[in-house]
């Protein structure tokens, strides 16, 4: 266990608690919001809500594990001897990261063949990226961390290429009232995903052990909030705007 201060423990503790609540609230918002969009976009909102629901569950487990690993007593932070289980993050990412790409593709409403092809390719690449990154995350030396991090970057670069090149033409075919929003969703996805490798590299710095652990936990948590809850709300807005154009009867009924 890394030696951390009581202030660092509390910061991470509160970040986990806040993220659990945010993910749970976003799940309800997205699922109840399905009634505001046309049938073609309800699956996208269902998946987006599912992403946040999975994240909420895992953040609850992460929160419990963090609480069980330390004990604050008389203003002093003690290690309980129960290891903090950070593997919950990778289980979460293995499920949610492919779904994040799929929800973006579904809200674009491409042809059936395009949707199937891109969902399969991007979903597989996303899962492979997570699987390759995990051995480096738990490695006890920076050489192994660098090796697996480099291997994980290969599918990540492919995903980036697909987001900007493979989906570029499809995005230009989107309705005028959502084209910029779709581009924003793509950009935010790329930016938040690009933040994960930066956090992954924190152990290479000269920061102390407790500071490294705190920076990693807070960094990953911020990236999760943006990539899941933030993009999820943006997917909802895109779906509502497209539905207003494609399902005028829905707009009249609301």
Find the Cα–Cα–Cα–Cα dihedral 125, 131, 136, 140, rounded to 10°. Answer: 180
SS3 of residue 30 by DSSP: helix
pLDDT digits (tens, 9 = 90+) for 143-198: 888 899 999 999 999 999 988 887 888 888 888 888 888 888 888 988 888 888 88
* Separation between Cα atoms, residue 140 and residue 200, nearest integer Å: 13
Residue from 7, 8, 23, 30 nearest 59 by CA: 23
Give this prediction's pTM.
0.92
Half-sphere exposure of 217 (CA within 13 A, CB side): 29
Half-sphere exposure of 249 (CA within 13 A, CB side): 2
pLDDT band at 25 (very low <50, low <70, confident <90, very high): very high
pLDDT digits (tens, 9 = 90+) for 198-251: 898 888 877 777 888 899 999 999 999 999 999 999 999 999 999 988 888 775
- Taking residues 80-96, report their average pLDDT: 92
The encoded tokens of residue 140 equal 């006890």
Q: What percent of the chain lies above the pLDDT cut of 90? A: 59
| pLDDT (0 to 100) of residue 150 | 92
Phi and psi at 18, nearest 5°, equal -60, -40
Q: What percent of the chain lies above the pLDDT cut of 70? A: 97
């Amino acid at each position: 266990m890394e030696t951390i201060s009581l202030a660092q423990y509390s910061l991470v503790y509160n970040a986990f608690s806040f993220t659990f609540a945010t993910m749970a609230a976003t799940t309800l918002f997205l699922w109840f919001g399905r009634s505001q969009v046309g049938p073609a976009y309800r699956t996208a909102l269902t998946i987006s809500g599912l992403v946040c629901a999975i994240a909420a569950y895992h953040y609850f487990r992460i929160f419990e594990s963090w609480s069980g690993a330390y004990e604050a007593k008389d203003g002093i932070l003690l290690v309980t001897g129960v290891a903090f289980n950070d593997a919950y993050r990778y289980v979460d990412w293995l499920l949610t990261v492919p779904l994040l790409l799929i929800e973006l593709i579904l809200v674009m409403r491409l042809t059936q063949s395009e949707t199937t092809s891109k969902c399969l390719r991007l979903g597989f690449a996303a899962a492979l990226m997570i699987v390759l990154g995990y051995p480096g995350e738990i490695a006890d030396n920076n050489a192994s961390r660098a090796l697996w991090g480099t291997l994980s970057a290969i599918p990540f670069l492919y995903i980036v290429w697909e987001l900007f090149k493979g989906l570029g033409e499809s995005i230009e075919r989107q309705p005028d009232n959502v084209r910029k929003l779709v581009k924003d969703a793509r950009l935010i996805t790329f930016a938040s995903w690009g933040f994960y490798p930066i956090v992954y590299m924190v152990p290479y710095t000269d920061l102390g052990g407790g500071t490294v652990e705190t920076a990693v936990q807070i960094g990953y948590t911020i990236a999760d909030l943006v990539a899941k809850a933030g993009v999820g709300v943006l997917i909802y807005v895109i779906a509502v705007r497209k539905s207003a154009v494609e399902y005028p009867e829905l707009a009249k009924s609301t």
